[in-house]
Structure 1
Amino acid sequence: MDERDVARPAYGRGYEEDVRALEESMRMMEDGVEASSDVDVHALARGMETSARVIETCGAHYTAWAHRWRCAEALAGDAGDGKMAVLREEAAYAARATTSNAKNYQAWNHARRTMETMGDEADVGDRARAFEHVDAALASDGKNIHAWQQRAWLVSRFNVWDGEDAYTRAMIAEDVMNNSAWNARFYWAKHMFDRGDEEVLDRETAYAREALESDAENESVWSYLRGLRDFAETSPAVDDDTATRISEFVLAVARAAASGKSPSRHALLVLADRVAAEAVRDRDLDRAADARSLFGALATIDPLRANYYAVRLDRLESALRASM
């Protein structure tokens, strides 16, 4: 930064000195690597401290986070029995960083790297603290996608799926429009099916239908139903009878929500998509006419997205011409 900067960030007076110290620490580490010699432990500690000062001023400073991790990784590798102490401190550091900036993806990435490096050496306490970190972020903002991604990784990494039913159900009860919670529940449901729970798809479609009773325009729930249906229809592990049953259930829910004086636009779109796909697949001009009628109805009740429905109609016509 210099006097020619058009819009100079309002950093504190010591920030530029901290950045220069960071750059010097990075050069020292590179010199040590090129010389194939161990970098001084005290130099690594200073590099971490310097990175922390830069991060304190600019929490999204990618280079500072990357350098801090490189120093911490080297320090952990040189610490022997103290390796886990170094990594636990880094996990705590990342947790503190997300307290003030909960959507700082560098901090969440740092937390994940820490747990990855712990590997099988992570004990029950380490895992509990990792979940507590996520829970604290979601308690503040239930839709924090970074926290949800971290939770998904932790659940998969440590194979602790059994608590996800209750957890996602509680988050959805708190906010039924929490798309991140529905998304997490979808991957839990898929895992349960893969683990041998053949009835989970029926239970989950019924669960989603109940959620629509309070708000038929909840797009998160319609996305969930679409996901369950698509999984049932495309997964080779799902038998034909189950796939047909789930598909017909979703269509029945859509027909019910699309009828009456206030039809749901999401329900109409589910129907329009299916009718259009069948028209192209079967080269059925009557079904194509039905699809046009549905898209026309969508444009009428949802004029804000009229152009989108017009594009969908154009795609239908193009697909029909190509199939004939």
Structure 2
Amino acid sequence: MAEQDNMPFYQKPEWADVVPIPQDDGPNPLVPIAYTKEYSTTMDYFRAMCKTQEKSERALDLTKIVIELSPSHYTVWYYRQQLLKELNKDLKEELEWIEWMINDHPKSYQIWHHRQVVIGRIANTLFPATSTTSTVAPITTAQATEAAVDFDTLSESQKAAVHEMVKAELDVIAESLQEDTKNYHAWSYRQWVLAHFGHGPWWVDELAYTEELIAEDVRNNSAWNQRYFVVTNGKAEGVTEEDIQREVQFAKSKIEKTPSNESPWVYLTGILRKGNHPVTEIKEFCESLLSAPRANFSPFVHSTLLDIYEVEAKEQRSAASVEKAKEEAIMLAEKVDPIRLKYWNWRKAQLQKIDVLA
């Protein structure tokens, strides 16, 4: 028996009835891929499974073998998802295997998407009346903000079950992010988890989580992006004025410490725009930074002031604001950001077109 365990699957008696289908690259392949014998033979058997659309335990085992050889083989992942459903497999066991795969291949999109599919199916089983959106479609920005579970309509026991599920998933993702805080696929899946189950208490915790990550590394642009996602999607009523003011102060506090860090500047202007606040609202703050030696050579301080003075010049038809904007454009072109000299000179030329009062 032990000898058979070490034997390749295709040499075992239970596979004797399967006729493998070799890969057809045509009579004269230009650049044939040098597959290993193990992978090539395994895929020959997988093609045979696909041809007959066999839905069996051995087919499920075969998908696992292929995936562990090639974790990004999306066709095999899809076939496995069909098999899990047809064979009515224990999806919690599948989650354990996926977690093991994530540890070895944290940047495989297909693994994260498979976990999304499995979690979506578990949710559909637990809360069939409230789950409406597809759980098989790829993770997209649009889908990440669509709730499939209406948390507020659930019973207390259901809410507890959802909260436990969400927390478990966020813990798995957080563990992966410890290895790489900018793993795009992990973040995409995290956004889907947060939103898929509605406006539960985990959104408040997530805001605190982003604050922790930013405290650890203020240049973690992924954490800043996640914070924006949480602030703009975390409440059923949308973004409030209180949220805007809080986040403006939060961004300012980080800019004061690292004025040449692009992330909080992008976040600050984005939050202002989300709240329909003009960029001129932070004029005094930006001007106050000029007295700080480090900030005076930050391209983001000067480019934001250029934007502010340009807006003032257009709205007030102010010649003084045009001159201030020109000074900022010159500063950027000649001293602070000369690598984009042509762009800043173009911006300066555009200022000449503003109709100002005599």
Q: Which amino acid aligns with 1:140?
A: E
Q: Which amino acid aligns with 2:327?
A: S
- Which stretch shows the higher mean deviation, 275-284 or 180-189? 275-284
Aligned partners of 1:299 and 1:309 also within 8 Å: yes
1:304 aligns with 2:339: yes
Tell me the residue number matched to 2:175: 136
What do the CA deviations read for 1:277-314 (whole angstroms, capped 9, x no partner)? Answer: 45456666664454333222112211223244345456
d(CA) in 1 for partners of 2:280 and 2:317?
21
Which TM-score applies when normalising by structure 2? 0.70
Distance 1:260 1:65, change over 3 A: same
1:118 aligns with 2:122: yes
Distance 1:57 1:305, change over 3 A: farther
Distance 1:129 1:272, change over 3 A: same
What do the CA deviations read for 1:63-115 (whole angstroms, capped 9, x no partner)? Answer: 2222222322333xxx3xx6xx2x22333333222211111111111111112
Tell me the residue number matched to 2:42: 18
- Which stretch shows the higher mean deviation, 182-191 or 124-133? 124-133
Which TM-score applies when normalising by structure 1? 0.77
Q: How big is the shift at 1:259?
A: 4.6
Q: Which amino acid aligns with 1:48?
A: L
* Structure with the higher helix share, 1 or 2: 1
1:155 aligns with 2:197: no
What do the CA deviations read for 1:256-283 (whole angstroms, capped 9, x no partner)? Answer: 2345544211111112223334545666
Tell me the residue number matched to 2:13: none
Tell me the residue number matched to 1:237: none
- The structure 2 residue matched to 1:66, chosen from 75, 78, 88, is 78
Q: How many residue pairs get matched?
A: 288
Distance 1:162 1:260, change over 3 A: closer
Map 1:102-251 onto structure 2 (within 5 A). 102-122=106-126, 123-124=161-162, 125-158=164-197, 159=199, 160-191=202-233, 194=237, 197-233=240-276, 243=277, 247-251=279-283
d(CA) in 2 for partners of 1:248 and 1:279?
11
Q: Which amino acid aligns with 2:275?
A: A
d(CA) in 1 for partners of 2:60 and 2:352?
59
Aligned partners of 1:47 and 1:67 also within 8 Å: no
Aligned partners of 1:192 and 1:200 also within 8 Å: no
d(CA) in 2 for partners of 1:274 and 1:174?
31
d(CA) in 1 for partners of 2:345 and 2:94?
52
